[in-house]
Amino acid sequence: MRNIIGLDIGTTAVRLVQVSKPDTDGFVTITDAHIEPMPERAMATSQINDATTVGLTVASALSNAKMRGPVVVGLTTTRTDLVTLDIPAHITGGARDDLIRNPGRELSPRLKLANSYLSWSTIGTDPTGDAAREQVAVALAHLDDVELLTRACTVAGITPIAIDLNGAAALRAVSRTRQGIRDTETVINLGAGSTLVATRTGPALRSLQVIPHGGARITQELMGPLRADFAAADERKRALRISDAPDQARQQSSLYIDNPDAGAGATSGVDAALSDTANRLVYSVVTAIDQDEQRHRSRTRRILLTGQGALLRGLAELVQARTNVQTRIGLPWVHPPKSRRGGLEPDQPFLLGLTTAIGLALWEKPS
């Protein structure tokens, strides 16, 4: 049994998860899970706004969950980048680390090395077949964002064994590939405060972009037309459908969740507000995917939507129509618990909300 605690610090909640070791098919079992509400204004678009409040909330969550084990905490920041380097295979260990951290040039057009927290892992041999060289994935994040997260962890009384990118964690939770297959897949993780667009080739994360537009903004933009407060608008949002999305939901995926109460009584003002905010989000997603294609000269072959925001009716269809890429809901690779509603079907909204925490719990020390 694994004992790593995946700690997902989100805009609306702290989520903790522990999982079993993957079985032969790659599935895990959730052995423990806990969700603790996040106080308002402690986070802003998935980034820490008040480190003390966040730290105290994390401490409360760990105490209430009664979990024990090493912690891997996730980081969401718009100030991040991923690059792939080709390095001579004979340069290993400390010498490789020195070469990556002191390359004599900037690695990223977005972040300066002097202002970045850097981590790396070897992802395989050169795809051209040159066994004398290896590919190394390097992740950079702005030091200020990492230090703010570290400060919150200090308040919580924990020292994480790793800080992982939340986009990488979501990809780890819902995406699988066979050894030796260099397929390309994108995971779109729709959280409350932000949307993460992560693309891999084979097992390696090749790009990650953070869009400061998530489920909370959609709810906020529906509050006026619905004449409701945030909680009521968020609840009623589940019964709405993006009016200009193609009606292809049921052929998209067996994981698509129908809502028998949907479709009734939405006013034209509500329809327009939902369509407008959803289309702006999808435009940003398409831009991120196009930028990834331009940078890596290959387009993703499949898109998985995850996070509770993925359940917005019509969103998967709209993304597929705009990208012309097969799009479906992506559940984490877990043996799901029974529904909290008492049925035999898994509680899909619950699992989608735990996607990032599950991926963090699956973290392994890079080679």
Q: List the chain residues with pLDDT less than 70.
A: 1, 125-130, 180, 248-267, 336-346, 367
- What is the per-residue pLDDT across 63-114, written as a single tens digit (0 to 9) for each? 999 999 999 999 999 999 998 888 999 998 899 999 999 999 999 998 999 9
C-alpha to C-alpha distance for 46 and 211, rounded to whole angstroms: 10
C-alpha to C-alpha distance for 131 and 124, rounded to whole angstroms: 10
178-331: CATH topology is Nucleotidyltransferase; domain 5 (3.30.420)
Q: What is the pLDDT of residue 249?
A: 42
Instruction: Assess contact for 331 and 353: CB atoms under 8 A.
Output: no
C-alpha to C-alpha distance for 88 and 91, rounded to whole angstroms: 6
User: Please, what's the b/e burial string for 32-56 (b: 16 or more CB within 10 A of its CB; e: otherwise)?
Assistant: bbbbbebeeebbebbbbebbebbbb
Q: What is the pLDDT of residue 345?
A: 53
- What is the per-residue pLDDT across 316-354, written as a single tens digit (0 to 9) for each? 999 999 999 999 999 999 986 654 555 445 688 899 999
C-alpha 32: how far from its chain's center? 20
Q: Where are the domains of the chain?
A: 178-331
Read off the pTM.
0.88
Q: What is the pLDDT of residue 261?
A: 40
User: Would you tell me how many other CB atoms lie within 10 Å of the CB of residue 99?
Assistant: 15
